[in-house]
Amino acid sequence: MKNKESVKVRVFRCTPENGEDTGHYEEYNIPYEAGMTVLTALDYIYEHIDRSLSFYYSCRIGKCLGCFVDVDGKPVLACTTLLKDGMTIGPHKKHKLIKDVVVDFREN
Amino acid sequence: MTDTYKNVLETDVLVIGSEGAGARAAIEVAKNNMKVLVATKGVFTKCGATLTADMDIDVPSKAAKEVFGMDGGNPEDDELNMMRDMFMEGKYMNNEEVVWTHCSNAAKYVKELVDWGMRLDGLIQSPGHRFPRGLISTGRSMMTALKREVKRHKIDFAENTMITNLLTKDGKAVGAVGIDISTGDFLVFKAKAVVLATGGAMRIYPRTTAPEELTGEGMIMAFKAGAELVDMEFPLFLPACLVWPKSMLGVDLSYISSTVLGGWWLNKYGERFISKWDPKRMEHGTTRDIASVAQMIEILEGRGGPHGGIFVSYKHLPDELLDWSAKWNPWWANYMYGGFKLSDYNMDPREVSYEAAPAAHYWNGGIRVNKSGETNVPGLYAAGEVQGGTMGANRLSGNAVTEAVVFGAVAGGSAAKYVKDMKQPDIDKEQVKYYYENLHAPLNRNNGANVVEVRRKIQEMAMKYAGPVREEEGLKILLENIEKIKKNDIPNLSCSAKGKIYNREWFQCLEADAMIKTLEVVARASLMREESRGAMYRSDFPYTDNENWLKNIIATYKDDKVALETRDIKTSRVDLPEKQKIPYMVPEWEWAQKGGLSTKEDE
Ligand SMILES: Cc1cc2nc3c(=O)[nH]c(=O)nc-3n(C[C@H](O)[C@H](O)[C@H](O)COP(=O)(O)OP(=O)(O)OC[C@H]3O[C@@H](n4cnc5c(N)ncnc54)[C@H](O)[C@@H]3O)c2cc1C
Ligand code: FES
């Protein structure tokens, strides 16, 4: 894919405090740059499109294992997964949802 | 306001920050049979710098051999020698009693980690060390060991919890307030003592090796509670970190691999510019302070590449050697870095050179502590990267993890002793009310400043004017801009998203306040220090001035303002250098070997 072409992604949105319990997917257009990851896409949405999007990350280099999301149904680390056109990004299913793609990883 | 006291948590010792220093402190409190609660912004073992550490943990070389069974350990090296190297490379800004605690307890507390299950993979001698002191392990393995111990002691946690302010009563630390990010609830913590283990503030810079959440609240909440900050002009930069692609901004792959394998650092003319600064040690052996300054000057003077970095190249090495290195060099094993498959990112070192530049890596300064981890505020302790005094003006590789475990244990032990037989102190309700209102202000405000933009502004000017290379004019511009942001933007931040559950915009607003204050202290201290030393280079004073500047700069917070004073460095075991000005680029190590430094015990 070339720089500056745009890609479409679908991201799971769910705001439990508004009484929404099943959630829905929203589609976003993101200008593409070489080497973009799922995490840089989420960051782009937060910074440029909608600041109510919630996601968790820390190290952004594949070490903390905090950025797990499901992409097209499979669990991956958002920070080290290359972004592709048409991806569907949802919360990691094994854990309880907090909001959007943030799940509850707490064990304590 | 009805929900102000809905969530009140009481404990003996509140530990803020959950990783190397925080987890270790909590274990020590629990071992001493005191109640402990750990509050952490992230999720335990999924946040902080500790997890990302992937290399060396320092102990005296003698202990590497005798305690850890490493063949390469050298019996000629002991605690005193290690202290001496830390002073030499810390350019004498270190606090002697703190360094001594660090060196003389390193083996003991690192051994404990090994007993708890931390893996050891070998021993290395990193740049600036005169002996091999770096036990090789990973932050993940260390945290797995600590986690096991934390579980065994059944330690309580408040995760996804951002602490914003400390509570004080009669000048003593008695708790803290913050938000549970995952619910948006306001939390009040009542404690007899508080241990801060919140790590550094590298995220005030746009390019950093450090994780997302290290934005400086710990230092600033201590500062506001009356604690002294020291050596704040010396944020450490790691040279040769990636500037491209954006998803890998700040990644240290290109630095680690160039020290391990001998990558060349080239400017746009293909010159190995480090030869001007450190001709003997070159890329492979130079220390991070000099390397960062050298790279930054190439970039600032227009000899960099298209993305604003210098080039890191391995192309002088035959492919066979690179292929072989991908088998043994764990930092790009099978041409992977962490989770990145290098070829997917067009980063295969056989194919391309990297564009790289200094990235903020570690906070040399911080909250001033003594050898017991106590700050000048009774009941307040600081441990790990958030503390100042261990490293002085430059940190040697491998000492940070050691600092985190040694001082985690020390501060945790001191706090446990302090709270023993103590009654639960009262908190000041006026303080709680004030913080409650402040903390909710960005949520309640409409159409104010956008935190994404404010954050970007802060980070960009931090890098531009308070990077490895600074000068008076730039620092003055920076301070003017800081005043503007403090006046116009910070009190006016507003969230477009009003929900309380996991509101990223909200907690970034709270972080922005700490970021700007941290940057202000960095800027003011940098302007005051009219010389170049360790991690700080002033291009208008390009020499190390041991005549006038064998002094620490101490910052205190008075009437909403930053006040600075200097204090002479005092030592009893390490001799200070001759009172003279010396050129910045001479590696002091060589200079010292010519007789410039000795320790009193040796004489
Ligand atoms: C990429 C990288 C590689 C490194 N490699 C090495 C190495 O090989 N050897 C070495 O010695 N050192 C290395 N370091 C440095 C070393 O990892 C750190 O200095 C050390 O681990 C710091 O430990 P800490 O516990 O003090 O802080 P951290 O591990 O950073 O933990 C800070 C904690 O504070 C929490 N926190 C922050 N703010 C708040 C708040 N407002 N409220 C509540 N909680 C908060 C965070 O969530 C986190 O839990 C490296 C650093 C990086 C970034
Ligand atoms: S952010 Fe740490 S693994 Fe992805």
* Phi, psi at B571, each rounded to 5°: -135, 155
Looking at residue A1, its pLDDT comes to: 59
Residue B402's pLDDT band, with cuts at 50, 70 and 90, is very high
- A92 touching B (Cβ < 8 Å): no
- B495 touching A (Cβ < 8 Å): yes
- Residue B360: which H helix or E strand, with range? strand B354-363
Domain A5-104: give its CATH code.
3.10.20.30
How far is the CA of B228 from the CAs of A46, B232, B367, B376, B582, in angstroms?
36, 11, 6, 7, 29
Q: Is the pLDDT of residue B214 over 70?
A: yes
Per-chain mean pLDDT for chain B: 94
Q: Is the pLDDT of residue B55 over 90?
A: no
Q: Is the pLDDT of residue A102 over 80?
A: yes
Q: Is the pLDDT of residue B1 over 60?
A: no
Per-chain mean pLDDT for chain A: 93
B window 176-205, beta carbon within 8 A of A: 182
CB distance B44–A60 less than 8 Å? no
Amino acid at B53: A
Looking at residue A43, its pLDDT comes to: 97
Looking at residue B107, its pLDDT comes to: 98
Find the distance separating the first CA and the last CA of chain B, reported in whole Å: 66
DSSP B353: P
Q: Is the dihedral of CA B134, B136, B139, B145 positive or negative?
A: negative
- Residue A60 with chain B: CB contacts under 8 Å: 211-212, 247
Residues 6+ positions from B442 with CB-CB distance below 8 Å: B448, B451, B493, B494, B495, B505, B506, B509, B510
**Nearest atom (ligand 2) to Cα of A65:** 3
CB distance B340–A62 less than 8 Å? yes
Looking at residue B24, its pLDDT comes to: 98
CB distance A35–B48 less than 8 Å? no
Rounded mean pLDDT of B229-258? 95
Rounded mean pLDDT of B489-504? 97
Residue B284's pLDDT band, with cuts at 50, 70 and 90, is confident
Rounded mean pLDDT of A60-85? 96
Rounded mean pLDDT of B418-438? 97
Looking at residue B288, its pLDDT comes to: 87
Residue spans of alpha helices (H) in B317-450: 319-328, 399-419, 429-444
- B245: preceding bond cis by omega (within 30 degrees): yes
| pLDDT tens, position by position, B247-274 | 999 999 999 888 888 899 999 999 999 9
Looking at residue B2, its pLDDT comes to: 72
Count Cβ neighbours within 10 Å for each residue of B479-505 and write b for 16 or more, e otherwise.
Answer: bebbeebeeebbeebbbebebbbbbbb
Please give the Cα distance from B289 to B394 (Å, whole number): 7
CB distance B46–A55 less than 8 Å? no
| pLDDT tens, position by position, B319-333 | 999 999 999 888 888
- B340 touching A (Cβ < 8 Å): yes
Interface predicted TM-score (ipTM) of this complex, two decimals: 0.96
| pLDDT tens, position by position, B78-113 | 999 999 999 999 999 999 999 999 999 999 999 999
The pTM of this model reads 0.96
**Nearest atom (ligand 2) to Cα of B212:** 1
Looking at residue B596, its pLDDT comes to: 39
Residue A107, judged by CB atoms within 10 A of its CB (0-12, 13-18, 19+), counts as exposed
Tokens of B403: 């600092």
DSSP string over B137-179: --HHHHHHHHHHHHHHTT-EEE-SEEEEEEEEETTEEEEEEEE
Residue A63's pLDDT band, with cuts at 50, 70 and 90, is very high
Residue A2's pLDDT band, with cuts at 50, 70 and 90, is low
Please give the Cα distance from B382 to B374 (Å, whole number): 7
DSSP B533: B
CB distance A99–B502 less than 8 Å? yes
**Nearest atom (ligand 2) to Cα of B46:** 2
Percentage of chain A beyond pLDDT 70 is 95
Rounded mean pLDDT of B443-455? 97
- B343 touching A (Cβ < 8 Å): no
Beta-carbon count within 10 A of A76 CB: 20
Angle at B243 (CA atoms; ends B242, B246), nearest 5 degrees: 105
Rounded mean pLDDT of B4-28? 97
| pLDDT tens, position by position, B558-585 | 988 999 999 999 999 999 999 999 988 7
Count Cβ neighbours within 10 Å for each residue of B172-207 and write b for 16 or more, e otherwise.
Answer: bbbbbbbbbbbbbebbbbbbbbbbbbbbbbbbbbbb
Q: Is the dihedral of CA B183, B186, B188, B193 positive or negative?
A: positive
Please give the Cα distance from A94 to A97 (Å, whole number): 9
| A21 SS3 class | coil
Cα of B292 to nearest chain A Cα, Å: 22
Rounded mean pLDDT of B586-600? 47
Please give the Cα distance from A86 to A28 (Å, whole number): 10
Looking at residue B432, its pLDDT comes to: 98
Q: B196, B174 in Cβ contact below 8 A?
A: no
Q: Is the pLDDT of residue A47 over 70?
A: yes
Beta-carbon count within 10 A of B561 CB: 9
Residue B166's pLDDT band, with cuts at 50, 70 and 90, is very high
